[in-house]
């Protein structure tokens, strides 16, 4: 047991970050009473992004998606005051981080769980519960008013949104446009993608593959920085951010020259993590960059430490890291958080102090070797991918998950794990 004070900073209060905080609280309570936890989160409330597509059509569900953080540390028995800092991370250094007001927060271990956001879904950019509710209402109003909706991007979010809207509004003409020859991600089987496409078509969704939307033929509109079409007359800040959801006749033009008429275009592409905060961290080896230049995600070892051996005390978990997309679902984020905290515990047990005890590369290799058994048991196991299509239908890559859904009546599709999120935050 370490007798010194240990400060762990977790950045990001979504699914992976909250799981990590809970694991650290257990570690503090049972093993390291001098462990201090700081959570840095830019939102005032937990925002349940796992259920973001349900909130677009169900106002009652949306009301449950904003959960205060005030009970997160309620069950802690440590004499140290764990804390929550409501701010945005701007810079990372080797022993401290800097937030938007310029304040510095020092750490022994840093867990980055900043996730990714769809810039075309304005609700994900909101920082307060009130602003989120306003954005949701504007987006729902647009969906209600539109006759023909085109979703651009056939990943999990685009497919889920199609399923939700098709189930709630069977009278609407819904089209899904995807640039590849099959839906979803490359790391999922073609058979699963084809089954998803067939299920959408049975729900009345028109699926167009191998087409990229490049512009709109509607001359009265212009594009914002995300390529989203909106009327040029929109100027108010709140309306401007959500103006991309304004309903008006338009024709989308694809790369092949095809025109698709609609009166609401919703882009579900372009998710990218914000990792600019790592630009202040020196890279020790050009062959192991901190950021993947293609995806913008943080490169990590199997132990979830940064690939740069100079920073064995910095971990990246959840959507922000470079693991395959099949590892980006909520259950995988839980495994990653547990695995990272297990790595931190190993380093603490070995009295790792990157300023004196051992070289950073030795510490990184030590944690990697010690974590491999845990990694093999969790991160390398086959993860079940579940795609929900409304409240009553879902598809899964796992036979067990499909059987469980049949037994429980598609429990995930009805609630999107919101009950579990409430329990995690002691609500």
- Residues pairing with 92 in the sheet: 97
Judge if 256 and 404 occupy the same domain. Answer: yes
Domain boundary among 339, 360, 377: 377
**Do the strands 271-273 and 116-118 form a parallel or antiparallel pair, or are they unpaired?**
antiparallel
**CATH number (domain holding residue 242):** 3.50.50.60
Q: What is the structure's pLDDT at 321? A: 93
Per-residue pLDDT at 3: 64
Q: Of the ranges 89-103, 148-162, 233-247, 296-310, which is most confident?
A: 89-103
Place of tokens 């802690």: 76
Pair (220, 280) in one structural domain: no
pTM of the model: 0.85
Tokens linked to 116: 């990714």
Does 158 share its domain with 139?
yes
Instruction: Name the pLDDT band for 370 (thresholds 50, 70, 90).
Output: low
Mean per-residue pLDDT for 9-29?
A: 95
Establish if 222 belongs to a structural domain.
yes
Residue 51 belongs to a domain: no
What is the arrangement of strands in the sheet containing 205-208, beginning at the earlier edge strand?
205-208, 173-177, 148-152, 264-267
Shared domain for 178 and 317, answered yes or no, is no
d(CA 283, CA 286) in angstroms, rounded, equals 7
CA 143 to chain centroid: 23
Q: How confident is the model at residue 192 (pLDDT cuts 50, 70, 90)?
A: confident
Q: Give the whole-angstrom CA distance, residue 363 versus residue 272.
A: 31
Above pLDDT 90, what percent of the chain? 49
Q: Which of 225-234, 320-329, 343-352 has the lowest mean pLDDT?
A: 225-234
**pLDDT higher than 80, residue 330:** no
In a domain, 310, yes or no: yes
pLDDT band at residue 126 under the 50/70/90 scheme: confident
Burial class of residue 337 (count of CB atoms within 10 Å of its CB; 0-12, 13-18, 19+): buried
285 confidence band (pLDDT: 50, 70, 90):
confident
Q: Is the pLDDT of residue 288 over 90?
A: no
Crossing angle between the packed helical segments 330-349 and 360-377, to the nearest 10 degrees: 140
Residue 157 has pLDDT above 60, yes or no: yes
Distances (CA, A) of 48 to 11, 16, 34, 87, 330: 16, 12, 31, 18, 11
Is the same domain home to 369 and 417? no
Ranking 89-93, 107-111, 284-288, 421-425 by mean pLDDT, the lowest is 284-288
Nearest to 109 by CA among 42, 30, 36: 36
- For residue 369, what pLDDT is reported? 57
> Could you tell me the residue range of the domain that residue 232 belongs to?
122-269+385-424
Q: Is the domain of 205 the same as that of 186?
A: yes
Q: Are 391 and 410 in contact (CB under 8 A)?
A: yes
Are 199 and 291 members of one domain? no
**pLDDT, tens digit (0-9, with 9 covering 90-100), for 214-232:** 877 654 444 343 333 444 3
Residue 72 inside a domain? The answer is: no
| More confident site: 59 or 225 | 59
Identify whether 76 is part of a domain. no
- Whether residue 116 is predicted with pLDDT greater than 70 in this model: the reply is yes
What does the alpha-carbon distance between residue 204 and residue 173 come to, in Å, rounded to a whole number? 8
Residues 35 and 166 in one domain: no
- The predicted pLDDT at position 242 comes to 39
- pLDDT at residue 375 is higher than 60: no
Tell whether 54 is covered by a domain. Answer: no
Q: Is the pLDDT of residue 425 over 90?
A: yes
Residue 67: partners with Cβ closer than 8 Å, 6 or more residues away: 45, 46, 48, 421, 422, 425, 427
If one counts the domains in the chain, the total is: 2
| Mean pLDDT across the chain | 82
- The pLDDT, as a whole number, for residue 79 is 58
154 and 244 part of one domain: yes
Q: Which of 125-129, 184-188, 252-256 has the highest mean pLDDT?
A: 252-256
For residue 39, pLDDT beyond 90? yes
pLDDT at position 104, please?
Answer: 98
Question: Looking at the DSSP assignment, which residues form a beta bridge with residue 118?
Answer: 271
DSSP strands (E only) in 268-368: 271-273, 314-316
**pLDDT tens across 76-107, in order?**
766 567 999 999 999 999 999 999 999 999 99
∠ Cα 371 342 73 (to 5°)? 170
Residue with tokens 């239908």: 393
Least Cα distance to 258 among 319, 144, 179 occurs for: 179
315 and 347 within one domain: yes
Contact 164, 369 (CB under 8 A): no
Residue 326 confidence class, pLDDT cut points 50, 70, 90: low
Dist CA 76 CA 82 (whole Å): 8
Q: What is the mean pLDDT of residues 110-127?
A: 86
Does the pLDDT at position 282 exceed 90? yes
Amino acid 400: pLDDT:
45
| Residue for token pair 């003409």 | 173
**365, 371, 376, 380 alpha-carbon torsion, rounded to 10°:** -80
Q: Is residue 53 part of a domain?
A: no
129 and 208 part of one domain:
yes
Query: Is 144 found in the same domain as 258?
Result: yes
In the block, residue with structure tokens 């093999």: 376
Q: Is residue 79 part of a domain?
A: no
Three-state secondary-structure class, residue 181? coil
Rounded Cα distance, 140 and 276, in Å = 32
Instruction: Return the pLDDT at 119.
Output: 72
Q: What is the average per-residue pLDDT within 42-56?
A: 91
Place of tokens 């592409």: 269
């Amino acid at each position: 047991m370490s007798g010194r004070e240990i400060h762990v900073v977790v950045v990001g209060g979504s699914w992976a970050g909250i799981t990590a905080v809970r694991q650290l609280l257990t570690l503090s309570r049972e093993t390291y009473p001098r462990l201090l936890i700081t959570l840095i989160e830019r939102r005032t409330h937990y925002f349940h992004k796992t259920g973001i597509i349900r909130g677009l059509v169900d106002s009652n569900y949306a009301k449950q998606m904003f959960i205060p953080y005030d009970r997160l540390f309620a069950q802690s028995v440590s004499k140290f005051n764990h804390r929550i800092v409501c701010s945005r991370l701007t810079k990372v250094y080797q022993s401290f981080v800097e937030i938007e007001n310029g304040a510095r927060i020092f750490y022994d271990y840093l867990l980055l769980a900043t996730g990714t956001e769809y810039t075309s879904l304005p609700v994900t950019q909101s920082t307060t519960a009130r602003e989120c509710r306003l954005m949701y209402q504007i987006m729902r109003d647009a969906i209600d008013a539109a006759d023909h909706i085109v979703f651009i991007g056939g990943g999990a979010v685009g497919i889920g949104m199609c399923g939700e809207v098709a189930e709630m509004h069977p009278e609407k003409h819904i089209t899904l446009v995807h640039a590849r020859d099959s839906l979803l991600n490359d790391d999922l089987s073609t058979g699963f993608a084809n089954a998803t496409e067939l299920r959408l078509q049975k729900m009345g969704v028109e699926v167009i593959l191998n087409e990229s939307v490049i512009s709109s033929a509607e001359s009265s509109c212009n594009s914002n920085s995300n390529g989203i079409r909106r009327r040029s007359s929109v100027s108010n800040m709140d309306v401007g951010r959500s103006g991309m959801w304004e309903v008006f006749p338009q024709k989308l033009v694809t790369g092949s020259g095809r025109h698709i008429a609609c009166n609401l275009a919703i882009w579900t592409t372009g998710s990218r993590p914000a990792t600019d905060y790592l630009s202040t961290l020196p890279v020790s080896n050009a062959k192991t960059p901190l950021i993947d230049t293609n995806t913008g995600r943080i490169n990590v070892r199997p132990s979830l430490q940064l690939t740069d051996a100079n920073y064995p005390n910095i971990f990246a978990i959840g959507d922000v890291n470079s693991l395959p997309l099949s590892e980006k679902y909520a259950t995988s984020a839980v495994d990653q958080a547990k695995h990272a905290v297990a790595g931190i515990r190993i380093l603490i047990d070995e009295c790792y102090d990157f300023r004196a005890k051992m070289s950073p590369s030795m510490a990184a290799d030590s944690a990697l070797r010690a974590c491999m058994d845990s990694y093999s048991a969790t991160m390398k196991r086959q993860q079940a991918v579940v795609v929900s299509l409304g409240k009553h239908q879902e598809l899964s890559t796992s036979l067990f998950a499909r059987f469980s859904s049949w037994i429980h009546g598609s429990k995930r599709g009805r609630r999107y794990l919101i009950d579990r999120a409430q329990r995690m935050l002691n609500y």
